[in-house]
Structure 1
Amino acid sequence: MTGLSRASTRRELVRDRRRHPCVAALQAFRVSLPYIRVGELSDSARLDLIAELERLKGACSGLQARAAESVRAEREASAPHDAARSVGSEVALARRESPTLGDRFVGISRALVREMPATLAALESGAVSERHAVEMVRESATLSAEDRMALDQRLAPLLGRLAPRALGRAAHRVAAELDAGSIVRRMEAAVSTRRVTVRPAPAGKAYLTVLGPLREVVGAYAALTRQASCIAGGQDPRELPAGRSTRAIAADTALRILAGLEQGAVPPIEIHLVMTDRALLGLGDGARSVMEPARIPGHGSVPAPIARSWVRDNGHDDVWVRRLFTGPDGRDLVAMDSRKRVFTGLLRRMVVLRDDVCATPWCDAPIVQIDHTQPARRSGETAFANGSGLCARCNQVKESPGWQTSVVRASPRRVRLQTPSGHVYESNAPPLLGWG
């Protein structure tokens, strides 16, 4: 370790020495790991080290599960109103993940501690990983407590022998045998959760996902691949393959059909593409690069040549350019005020452009609601500096008892979040053109 990292480790231990002894002991073990000289070990010892660390991760997940369930049980006993959602968000912050994953872990923890002792024991011994436990809990979610315990005991001999997905298939089979009716009801209820989502993918692409009933989705996929194979084989007089693979033709066909377009038509859409005047037009500050990437809020960076081609070759004559004024360093949008209690219009758009995704640490969900960081009932202004872009879940949780939010700094904007347990987390708005 370098002198700087050692000094940081010492500061961390001194700062947190008032923690509970068991937490302090775990912390001391964690900070000692970088001191292990793996270069002095044999290959066999290195692989043994990897295996033991993997078992350690499972044991840590088991301990996390017991701790999360204990927090949930005590919180619901003392303050049942909205306790589950509040605890889920606190666990998510502690695990540095999204609130949805925090909720999932709290639910998994409850099932493991209360209804699946064999799986919990295997997890704490390091015989299985958290992924195995997730599969077991998910596939037994519709069972009664008695049936879930029976499933847990029945599959106990297989724990540590099967891969996560194989264990999940085994759990599904046993669940269908113990209570076939619950599996049928689960499949029927799942139809109501059908939806279409979009999320960014590497290299300037994105995933468009259709979640629907198995029969309809498989049928649609079969029809799409059949049509793509026909085009790729030159059997469709209306469209030529033009050097595209069958998979590429299937993607082009699906997007064209979903957009309701004729072949070759361009969809009339609006994309909030943020880029410097230098990168777009070659004008402005000569010290900045014409290759500085652009950004699509919520989806990430786009190389400057690609962004320019989107503007130039968009297929429409009406390209709208809106100027965004920043601070002297070009990092942040300047403030904008409003007398309304609701964030609408350009003020709302500016908050979305600034925050990019939900402002809660590690959430990363798309922004759905703009709300006051300091509540309006506490004299919080409906102003750019006091607005926060949040997902619906995080916006509701911050109104629960014990949660507090405040703006620590306006530029670069930093928001402080305090949970009911007294833990404090901070999040920073990204630079206007994105991190990095």
Structure 2
Amino acid sequence: MEGKSTAVDGRRSARSAVASARVCLGQIDIGELTDAERLQLVAELERLKGAAVAAQARAVDAVRRSRESSCPRDALRSVGSEVALARRESPALGDRFVGLAQAVVHELPGALAALEGGALGERGVVEVVRETATLTREDRLEVDARLRGLYERLGWRSLGRAARRVAAELDAASVVRRMERAVAARRVGVRPAPDGMAYLSVLGPLREVVGAYAALQSRAAAVVGGGCPDEGPEGRGRGAVAADTALRLLSGRSPGQVQPVEVHLVMTDRSLLGTGGPGGSSMTPARVPGHGSVPAPLARAWVRGAGPASVWVRRLYTTPDGRDLVAMDSRRRIFGGLLRRMLVLRDDVCSTPWCDAPIVHADHVRPAREGGPTSLVNGAGRCARCNQVKEAPGWAARVARASPRVLELATPTGMRLSSRPPPVLGWGSDPPASGPSVGGSGPGQASRGRPPSRGRW
């Protein structure tokens, strides 16, 4: 019994030591330091971040090995999701960190030592692991040996290039095969940008992407130079003309044609009509589900610019405080599936804490096989990954409260987290909370952790 008690105390002391160090950082009196001391503190904190990543990697690899010995192979995917919850990031990044931990602990001892010593950061080790992903353990050890003197000297981009060069020298065939397989992963993605903008990215073969870019630039130069009688620059620069051309061609529009795709825009009636009053402001921002908020004047301009024949208005019914969506006008049935659409409008993105992936599946919180109803209360929007992982042994979810909605998630290792959908008009539309605004929530109390990450750059 004494040995068991000592082990438990050791585990508690490790966690307590880290927690105490975190609290001490918040108590540093920056005002008492000189500028030189402040910069020295910044440098030391950066080294501390590397050491923290090393400790995380060793802990995550131990979890992976423990789960491999006790769980079926098809259940190991849930480890990445649990790691993502612990690190407050998406499941894809959780998977990446599980792979990084395995590589660093077992195949890159020099990188692990550099992390523990604070000479290397997480971004640098991610690049090294990525560029050596196709190599054998022996070749990875060779890459690590060659880079040992460079971990302290190079930035993360240069480290990635150096690792890629050594990998191509040691096993050119595997690098070529990886490049060939990468073609199958070509895709198009979209992510929000500041100021009501968004990035549309195309991942494809280098020669084709460079060729498409060159064609856009050539067209833009011709338009700006007055060489295209069917289109004028109208005060636009080459960059704006290239962007307009790409978006028009990708959406299949002719010049001047409106966007032939439905875009959801959630806004109050006062913001739509531009008339404020005691009942509400006409400047309440609108929300594009899955992409964030836009100012009311810009949303009104979008509606006006689309033309009356292209705008459909559907009423949304909310709770008395206007926070949560409870029903919607169902008179228009062109696209069907109004219940699923309500889930998307309510949850915005995947309801798993910190996932932020687009909603793909409308999921039963209480499974239908257990009598769970197909209803708004028992429904949750999830990405495909999170919907599949929750079926692994040890995962559980329940609706703890219907309004304001609280969804509780439990993992195989005992983590319990709560998730709340955003207000119907988006995060930041709630009135200010009373009391301290920071520093009191553990992961089991966090409300999904998403508001701070929205729009991060």
For the superposition of Structure 1 and Structure 2, which TM-score range results when normalised by the shorter chain? over 0.9
- State the 1:286 CA deviation: 3.7
Residue 317 of structure 2 contacts residue 327 of structure 2 at CA under 8 Å; is this kept in 1?
A: no
What residue number does 1:259 align with?
251
Q: 1:410 to 1:19 in 2, by over 3 A?
A: farther
What residue number does 2:322 align with?
330
What residue number does 2:448 align with?
none
Q: How does 1:369-384 map to 2 (within 5 A)?
A: 369-384=361-376
Deviates more, 1:146-155 or 1:313-322: 313-322
Aligned: 1:120 with 2:112: yes
Q: 2:142 aligns with which of 122, 146, 150?
A: 150
Counterpart Cα distance in 2 of 1:426 and 1:18: 29
Counterpart Cα distance in 1 of 2:244 and 2:222: 14
Residue 232 of structure 1 contacts residue 240 of structure 1 at CA under 8 Å; is this kept in 2?
A: yes
- State the 1:198 CA deviation: 1.2
Q: 2:159 aligns with which of 162, 167, 188?
A: 167
Counterpart Cα distance in 2 of 1:287 and 1:202: 30
Counterpart Cα distance in 1 of 2:315 and 2:254: 34
User: Which AA in structure 1 matches 2:357?
Assistant: A
Runs of 4 or more, structure 1, over 6 Å off, are none
Aligned: 1:75 with 2:67: yes
User: Which AA in structure 1 matches 2:93?
Assistant: L
Deviates more, 1:285-294 or 1:46-55: 285-294
Q: How does 1:82-93 map to 2 (within 5 A)?
A: 82-93=74-85
Aligned: 1:432 with 2:424: yes
Aligned: 1:395 with 2:387: yes
Residue 277 of structure 1 contacts residue 284 of structure 1 at CA under 8 Å; is this kept in 2?
A: no
Residue 276 of structure 2 contacts residue 282 of structure 2 at CA under 8 Å; is this kept in 1?
A: no
Aligned: 1:277 with 2:269: yes
Deviates more, 1:36-45 or 1:348-357: 36-45
> Which whole-Å deviations, capped at 9, do the CAs of 1:219-256 have from their partners, x for residues lacking one?
11011111111111222222211111110010001111
User: Which AA in structure 2 matches 1:149?
Assistant: L
User: Which AA in structure 2 matches 1:393?
Assistant: R
Counterpart Cα distance in 2 of 1:356 and 1:18: 42
Q: 1:303 aligns with which of 289, 295, 304?
A: 295
User: Which AA in structure 2 matches 1:352?
Assistant: V
Aligned: 1:181 with 2:173: yes
User: Which AA in structure 1 matches 2:31?
Assistant: G
What residue number does 1:352 align with?
344
Aligned: 1:134 with 2:103: no
Q: How does 1:411-426 map to 2 (within 5 A)?
A: 411-426=403-418
> Which whole-Å deviations, capped at 9, do the CAs of 1:286-322 have from their partners, x for residues lacking one?
4210110111110111111111111122045142111
TM-score, normalised on structure 2? 0.88
What residue number does 2:332 align with?
none
What residue number does 1:209 align with?
201
Residue 273 of structure 1 contacts residue 294 of structure 1 at CA under 8 Å; is this kept in 2?
A: yes
What residue number does 2:397 align with?
405
Deviates more, 1:82-91 or 1:355-364: 82-91
What residue number does 1:6 align with?
none
Counterpart Cα distance in 2 of 1:255 and 1:318: 19
Q: 1:295 to 1:127 in 2, by over 3 A?
A: same
Deviates more, 1:69-78 or 1:318-327: 318-327
Backbone CA RMSD of aligned residues = 1.6
2:73 is paired with a residue whose SS is: coil
- State the 1:285 CA deviation: 7.4
What residue number does 2:93 align with?
101
Consecutive unaligned residues of structure 2, counting only runs of 5 or more, are 1-8, 329-335, 429-457
Consecutive unaligned residues of structure 1, counting only runs of 5 or more, are 1-16, 337-343
